[in-house]
């Protein structure tokens, strides 16, 4: 079985990754002037799926891009090359994700990708993913360290679900760090939902107390911003290890890293860390 970040990936999950990275139709974000100049079909009311939201990082799109054109590969390929080039460059300018560089991928995909758009950037279509087992692991692994769950020698008896959760990918976008911590502590189904701040804060208030030590199981790390809003959470499992999920994206697994590794990867200007220990 394929292994990504030290985690087995089934053929079914790999195929879902292909669908999430390269849906049959993908959104292209435009200013009103670009939409008029390029005469593209528009569907501004169509909402992306949760997976498309994370693939393209829709939440980070430049505010000037207020029009959306949903194109399939055939419609995209039928555009004049100058329009394709300008359209792809515009996605970079508008901060849309999944617009990789030709330089990074030509060695894997071949020189033909230079012809897709401006020769410097391209977008993913299923036609580029015939060898998904070679491409998707590189994308999912980018900027992420592996899960080190295989190195754990003793799992905490008081956190019986940690071992089950450690080293697993979600079945889509949504499951996040808050739900991962709650599930590790026994909250049924929490690992499968997009856990919002409010229920997580309620759970913290009812089940934890300020304090805790880094080298014992059951210390919940909570990172807050300058306005005291919780931004990330993780939980110690003993022996210097932690369980966390870096984001709500379909690409990020529930993984085990050292306490130091999690702290370094989560360091963000304006955030501060607090520790809370599980009650009882």
Q: Which helix (H) or strand (E) holds 11?
A: helix 11-21
pLDDT at 90 (0 to 100): 98
- Domain map of the chain by residue range? 23-128, 149-278
Over 90: is that where the pLDDT of 21 sits? yes
Find the mean pLDDT for residues 2-30: 97
Token pair listed for 42: 């528009």
On whether the CB atoms of residues 6 and 152 are closer than 8 A, the answer is: no
Q: What is the pLDDT of residue 61?
A: 98
Q: What is the pLDDT of residues 203-219, one digit of tens each?
A: 999 999 999 999 999 99
Contact indicator for 184, 243 with CB cutoff of 8 Å = yes
**Regarding predicted confidence, which is higher, 280 or 106?**
106
Question: Quick check: 172 and 16 in contact, CB under 8 A?
Answer: yes
Given a cut of 90, whether residue 1 has pLDDT beyond it is no
Give the pLDDT confidence score for residue 226 in this predicted structure.
96
HEC readout, 194-222? CCCHHHHHHHHHHHEEECCCCCCCCEEEE
Percent of the chain with pLDDT over 90: 98
Q: Which helix (H) or strand (E) is 257 found in, with range?
A: strand 255-258
CA angle, 106 as apex, 35 and 77 as ends, to 5°? 35
- Give the per-residue pLDDT at 257: 98
Q: How much is the pLDDT for 273? A: 97
* pLDDT tens-place string over residues 140-165: 999 899 999 999 999 999 998 999 99
Return the CATH architecture of domain 149-278: Alpha-Beta Complex (3.90)
Q: What is the mean pLDDT of residues 214-242?
A: 97
Q: Strand 208-210 and strand 219-224: pairing?
A: unpaired
Mean pLDDT rounded to a whole number for the chain? 97
Question: What's the pLDDT band for 168 if we cut at 50, 70, 90?
Answer: very high
Q: What is the structure's pLDDT at 92?
A: 98
Q: What is the CA radius of gyration of the chain?
A: 21
The mean pLDDT of 243-252, rounded to a whole number, is 97
Instruction: Tell me how far apart the alpha carbons of residues 216 and 246 are, in angstroms, rounded to a whole number.
Output: 21
Rounded CA-CA distance 202/56 in Å is: 32
How large is the average pLDDT for residues 125-142?
Answer: 96
Q: What is the mean pLDDT of residues 253-278?
A: 97
């Amino acid at each position: 079985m394929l292994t990504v970040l030290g985690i087995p990936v089934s053929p079914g999950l790999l195929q879902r990754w292909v669908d999430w990275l390269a849906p049959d139709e993908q959104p292209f974000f435009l200013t009103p002037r670009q939409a008029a100049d390029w005469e593209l079909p528009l569907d501004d009311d169509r909402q992306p799926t949760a997976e498309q939201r994370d693939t393209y990082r829709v939440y980070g799109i430049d505010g000037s891009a207020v029009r959306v054109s949903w194109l399939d590969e055939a419609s995209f390929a039928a555009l004049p090359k100058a329009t394709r080039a300008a359209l792809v460059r515009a996605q970079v300018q508008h901060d849309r994700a999944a617009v990789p560089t030709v330089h990074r991928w030509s060695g894997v995909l071949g020189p033909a990708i230079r012809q897709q758009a401006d020769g410097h950037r391209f977008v993913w279509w299923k036609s580029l993913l015939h060898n998904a087992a070679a491409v998707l692991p590189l994308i999912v692994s980018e900027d992420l360290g592996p899960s080190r769950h295989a190195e754990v020698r003793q799992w905490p008896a008081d956190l019986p679900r940690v071992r089950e959760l450690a080293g697993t990918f979600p079945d889509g976008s949504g499951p996040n760090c808050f739900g991962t911590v709650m599930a590790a502590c026994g909250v049924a189904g929490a690992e499968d939902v997009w856990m919002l701040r409010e229920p997580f804060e309620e759970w913290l208030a009812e089940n934890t107390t300020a304090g805790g030590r880094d080298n014992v199981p059951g210390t919940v790390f909570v990172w807050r911003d300058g306005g005291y809003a919780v931004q990330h959470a993780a939980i110690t499992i003993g022996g210097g290890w932690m369980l966390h999920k870096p984001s709500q994206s379909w690409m990020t697994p529930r993984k085990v890293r050292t306490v130091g590794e999690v702290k370094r990867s989560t360091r963000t200007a304006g955030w501060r860390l607090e520790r809370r220990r599980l009650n009882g």
